[in-house]
Chain A
Amino acid sequence: MKEKNFEIISIAQDTGGVKDAGPWITGEAYKGKETAAKMPPTYTALIDSEHLVTKLYNLVNVPTGIWINEKGKLVRPPEVAFIDDKFKEFTHLDTSQYLSGLRDWIANGDKSEYVVPEKQLKARMTPATPEHQLAAAEFSMAEYLVHIGSNDDAIPHFKQAQKLHPENWNYKRQAYLLADSKKNYGTTFQDEVKALNGKPYYPPPDLPPKKKD
């Protein structure tokens, strides 16, 4: 989707940084596998080994999409954003709706019906509570300990972050990846998804109904 005046920035939320995220950007991870994605990508692909964007925008999962207009203003709340159907079996999301919204915004800018008016947008954004902020600090501490090679000592801080902000999947999944999740956290990602009891793991983005072409 290379359009005039429009840029995609992908940002990897990976404590392991280039080591973990790099192969998926250079294409190495796809070697010998069938892949629809062109590698390396034509968009800007950044590595965020401190989950800076997660904390700045108070994000709770990946993939999350954020729309920013020419003036640097948000025009939609951060929301689940799949730009292809690679994970459809798991997500059950119709990505075409999100993509047609995106195309509409690229074409019509602030006049697009997918742009959420300021007042509504403010109401739909989630402020970080003091608990969320402390969770972010604990998570940062855990990541710092991982970066200095003390994975085991990071575990209590990852746990604290998860306890303070249980809705944040980034805090869980990153920690599980760096440990034996069953042994160290007494749970797994699959267990946690099951515990949602039918509540969607990916809440579908709240978009206006798709226009008939």
Chain B
Amino acid sequence: MKNLLTRTLVVCLGLVMTGLLTAPFVRATTPDSTKVQATIIFDRTATSVNGVTDNSKDLWVTLEDLKKSTRFELKPSGVCRDELCFPLPKANRESFVRKQDDGSWFNLSAFARLVHQPIAYDEKHSIWLFGDRPAVQNGFLATLTAPDFTLPDVNGKMHSLSDFKGKKVLIVTWASW
């Protein structure tokens, strides 16, 4: 009898503990915490979206807004853009995609962490900025191919480094400060 009582107590305690441990986690990944008018900056392009944010300040967006702001799309094989596909971990797929009554929501912050994109966040202006993946940033160190860029001159005319292929180029940076 005493044994059973102890066991029940342990089980009860266990249930309470499990509840305590998982409750905040579940809440943190529920995409209906706070509706937010957010600005996403991805690939240096700003897009306005109606998102939701949770306790951990992750940004959840609709699949339409995912495509609009990042050109990535949710497919059976993963989160894809052109030939690039990142499979979502099966074990915790629900921390990336959630179905709500009004459609599917995608945790863009969790995805950025998955692919090691740095995230800068500004609460006051409700801006989530996603930087380049390390493979993009450091890719040129393996090939030594100078990363291309396109920038304006003082009259607004655009020039790309690749326009100068076939010539030797000296890039010199400077600043007015």
Interface of chain B, helix or strand or loop or mixed?
Answer: mixed
CA distance A153 to B122 in the complex (A): 9
CA distance A159 to B84 in the complex (A): 34
By size class, the interface of chain A is 35 or more
B1 at the interface (CB under 8 A from A): no
| Contacting pair B152 A47 (CB below 8 A) | yes
By size class, the interface of chain B is 35 or more
Cβ contact of B132, chosen from A13, A109, A133, A145, cutoff 8 A: A133
| Contacting pair A73 B146 (CB below 8 A) | yes
| Contacting pair A44 B159 (CB below 8 A) | yes
Q: Mark A20-46, 1 if CB is under 8 A from B, else 0.
A: 111111100100000000001000111
Kindly identify, within residues 41 to 91 of chain A, every residue whose CB is under 8 Å from any CB belonging to chain B.
Answer: 44-48, 50, 52-59, 62-74, 81, 83
Contacts of B177 in A (CB 8 A): 14, 20, 173-174, 176-177
Find the A residue at minimum CB distance from B137: A128
| Contacting pair B153 A46 (CB below 8 A) | yes
| Contacting pair A7 B164 (CB below 8 A) | yes
CB of A151, distance to nearest CB on chain B (Å): 13
| 3 A-B pairs with the lowest CB-CB distances in the bound complex, closest first | A137-B131, A141-B120, A137-B120
Which residues of A approach B to under 8 Å, CB–CB?
5-14, 16, 18, 20-26, 29, 40, 44-48, 50, 52-59, 62-74, 81, 83, 102, 105-106, 109, 118, 121-122, 125, 127-128, 130, 133-134, 136-138, 140-141, 144-145, 148, 150, 153, 157, 160, 170, 173-174, 176-177
Which residues of B approach A to under 8 Å, CB–CB?
41, 44, 46, 116, 118-122, 124-125, 127, 129-132, 134, 137-138, 140-142, 144-147, 149, 151-154, 159, 161-162, 164-177
